[in-house]
Copies of this chain bind each other. A is one copy, B any other.
Amino acid sequence: MSDTDQIENGSKNLDGIATVELKNIALQLDSGQVLDQVTISYRTFGQLNEAKSNAILICHALTLDQHVAGDNPTNGKPGWWSSIVGPGLPIDTDKFFVICQNVIGGCAGSTGPTSMKPDGSGVYGIDFPVITIADMVRAQNLLLDHLEIPDLFCVLGGSMGGMQTLQWAAAHSERVFCAIPIATSARHSSQNIAFHEVGRQAVLADPEFHAGAYQQHGARPRKGLAVARMAAHITYLSETALQRKFGRNLQDRDAVTYGFEADFQIESYLRHQGMTFVERFDANSYLYITRAMDYFDIAADHGGNLAAAFQGTSTRFCVMSFTSDWLFPTSESIALVRALNAAGANVSFVEIESDKGHDAFLLDEPEMFATLDGFLRAAARDRGLS
Chain A residues with CB under 8 Å of chain B are 30-33, 129-130, 187-191, 193-195, 197-198, 200-202, 204-207, 223-224, 226-227, 230-231, 234, 237, 239, 242-243, 245-248, 256, 258-260, 262-264, 266-267, 270-271, 274, 287, 291, 294-295, 297, 300, 326, 329
Which residue of chain B lies nearest to A223 when distances are taken between CB atoms in the complex? B205
CA gap between A271 and B198 in the complex, in Å = 9
Residues on B with C-beta less than 8 A from A245 are 190
CB distance from A136 to the nearest CB of B (A): 14
Residues on B with C-beta less than 8 A from A260 are 130, 200, 204, 287, 291
Q: B130–A230 contact, CB under 8 A?
A: no
Q: A259–B130 contact, CB under 8 A?
A: yes
Q: A258–B130 contact, CB under 8 A?
A: yes
Pick the most buried of A207, A227, A243: most chain B CB atoms within 10 A of its CB: A227
Pick the most buried of A129, A190, A237: most chain B CB atoms within 10 A of its CB: A190
CB distance from A42 to the nearest CB of B (A): 26
Q: B264–A201 contact, CB under 8 A?
A: no
Which residue of chain B lies nearest to A297 when distances are taken between CB atoms in the complex? B248
CA gap between A248 and B248 in the complex, in Å = 36
Indicate whether A188 sits within 8 Å of B248 (C-beta atoms), given known contacts A206-B205, A207-B207, A234-B194.
yes
Residues on B with C-beta less than 8 A from A291 are 260
Q: B198–A227 contact, CB under 8 A?
A: yes
Partner of A224, one of B189, B205, B262: B205
- The contact sample of 13 A-B pairs, CB cut-off 8 A, is A129-B258, A189-B243, A193-B248, A194-B234, A197-B230, A197-B262, A198-B270, A202-B202, A205-B226, A239-B326, A260-B287, A263-B294, A264-B294
Residues on B with C-beta less than 8 A from A200 are 260
Partner of A194, one of B30, B207, B223, B270: B270
Q: A242–B198 contact, CB under 8 A?
A: no
Which residue of chain B lies nearest to A234 when distances are taken between CB atoms in the complex? B194
